[in-house]
Chain A
């Protein structure tokens, strides 16, 4: 459906994007995951036609993306962009008219999206009177009102509380079920895990890895992780080395990559006297994948990627 091939974009003296490539199929929710400045919004803006790539192509159904084909895109930018004195219905009608919908067709689409997004109660309420969560839903509804084949969502739950975020997630899951191809940018690992069929991890403008969540987890050479707090880093590294375990340091904590499952007692026994304060075992998470494929280790590097949570 949507193919992005070799996108590159310079921003000042750095590469905002470098050889970014991925494909999104019909009915698939594809996540672009990365910290602030990783290139997620730049990628979406190029697909949407707001920015021009220095190199690379974007195709829709194997045809180059033209102005006409872009009418098949639905875009919800990071900022909520609505007309505050217009009602929910008026906002939707306005944008539907821009996409060429008229009369009965327009009415049916507006009614449909109002129903699907649960906006019926606020149909005649002005956008300025809605809470942040409802505004975000309306913002999303505007992107969907013309039934786009591809939906681009840039941080669709930014600034929402947990409950409102889960409501938006529910709507996004429905999009995949309606056969739309969805490209979703997020810096929330939980969001990517909850919604995405496949994920591309962007780091410093490059696709560091992509695949299903399961495929990505397999990129970490471990069956399980041990998260450790201890005082004696050299000794910990020496003991882990002797046991053939890889060590990663993130902030004040160390993560050991365990090739097979074990217990806390057994691991503590094998490490011996290394001044352990705490030790916890956990499955390989998307965060670990991100840190691993992004090559992020040490406090300084971790601090340079502050927004990924």
Chain B
């Protein structure tokens, strides 16, 4: 990635680090959800195992979802509102470097969230049972899917900072619940379980939970993995297209 792209990543991370909203939504919320749902399930299987089975869903759903889907939407919408996007357009920064800069910043945020959620889990005796490399691949595909969709929504739906919460809550939260973020998808009624097959979060959760809690190998989750690869490609393509259109609109505004 170019130096300009890295400059974008660094700037985005500094801005995130200074935002109370980011701290609340991306750190305190997943931590609270992990503790709460871990505690609920502790009676059933003990605290350590409860955290072990709860952490994957909370990380993919409550953690990465808000940071990596809500994050790019927020960055782009705010950048347009304060007219800095226009200023970037007259600089030598090319669109691709900017896009990659945002992706890299969110990968860094995701890495910090993984460390934080699993730090908490390990602190109470929980574990990650499977291949860390396979887990990392699933998380990478999940982050790319979220970021791509974030760019898509930023270009298509969210026109102001107020819209961001609406998009994240209105579109996202139902996907999280259906995707088995807060409780096992096995607990869903059969009809909803069928519907959940169309929910990308469901496949992220299924794949990551299988690796993290059962030590599943790539062969066991090949269907979920294949879907995640397709989803990541489609989401990034949609995101790039929507972002290009957004830049054209911004140039002529």
B14 touches A90 (CB 8 A): yes
Closest 8 CB pairs of A and B: A97-B7, A81-B87, A81-B83, A79-B83, A85-B18, A75-B90, A98-B91, A48-B90
Size category of the A interface is 20 to 34
Residue from A67, A73, A79, A98 with most neighbouring chain B CB atoms (10 Å): A98
B4 touches A98 (CB 8 A): yes
Chain A contacts of B82 at CB under 8 A? 81-84
B11 touches A83 (CB 8 A): yes
Query: What separation, in Å, do the CA atoms of A99 and B10 have in the docked complex?
Result: 15
Chain A contacts of B91 at CB under 8 A? 95, 98-99
A97 touches B3 (CB 8 A): yes
Residue from A80, A85, A142 with most neighbouring chain B CB atoms (10 Å): A85
A-contact 0/1 string along B5-29, CB 8 Å cutoff: 0110011001100110000000000
The 8 Å CB contact of A49, one of B14, B87, B90, is B90
Which residue of chain B is the closest to A49 with respect to CB atoms?
A: B90
B-contact 0/1 string along A89-119, CB 8 Å cutoff: 0100011011110100000000000000000
* Other 10 A-B pairs with CB < 8 A, given A49-B89, A81-B83: A71-B92, A81-B84, A83-B84, A85-B14, A85-B19, A95-B91, A98-B4, A98-B88, A98-B91, A98-B92
B3 touches A100 (CB 8 A): yes
Chain B contact residues: helix, strand, loop or mixed: helix
Interface membership of A239, Cβ < 8 A: no
The 8 Å CB contact of A94, one of B11, B89, B92, B252, is B11
Query: What separation, in Å, do the CA atoms of A70 and B89 have in the docked complex?
Result: 11
The 8 Å CB contact of A98, one of B7, B83, B86, B252, is B7
Which residue of chain A is the closest to B98 with respect to CB atoms?
A: A98
Interface membership of B214, Cβ < 8 A: no
Query: What separation, in Å, do the CA atoms of A67 and B95 have in the docked complex?
Result: 13
B4 touches A73 (CB 8 A): no
A32 CB → nearest B CB, Å: 17
Q: Which residues of B contact A (CB under 8 A)?
A: 3-4, 6-7, 10-11, 14-15, 18-19, 82-84, 86-93, 251-252
B11 touches A77 (CB 8 A): no
**8 A–B contact pairs at CB < 8 A?**
A50-B251, A70-B90, A70-B92, A71-B92, A83-B15, A83-B82, A98-B7, A98-B91
Once A75-B87, A81-B84 are accepted as A-B contacts, the answer to whether A100 and B18 lie under 8 Å apart by CB is no
B14 touches A86 (CB 8 A): yes
Chain B contacts of A81 at CB under 8 A? 82-84, 86-87
A130 CB → nearest B CB, Å: 14
A51 touches B251 (CB 8 A): yes
A94 touches B7 (CB 8 A): yes
Chain B contacts of A70 at CB under 8 A? 90, 92
Chain B contacts of A82 at CB under 8 A? 82, 84
Query: What separation, in Å, do the CA atoms of A100 and B4 have in the docked complex?
Result: 7
B29 CB → nearest A CB, Å: 21
Query: What separation, in Å, do the CA atoms of A256 and B250 have in the docked complex?
Result: 47
Residue from B4, B86, B89, B252 with most neighbouring chain A CB atoms (10 Å): B86
B5 CB → nearest A CB, Å: 10
A50 touches B3 (CB 8 A): no
B-contact 0/1 string along A22-60, CB 8 Å cutoff: 000000000000000000000000001111000000000
The 8 Å CB contact of B15, one of A71, A75, A86, A95, is A86
A256 CB → nearest B CB, Å: 45
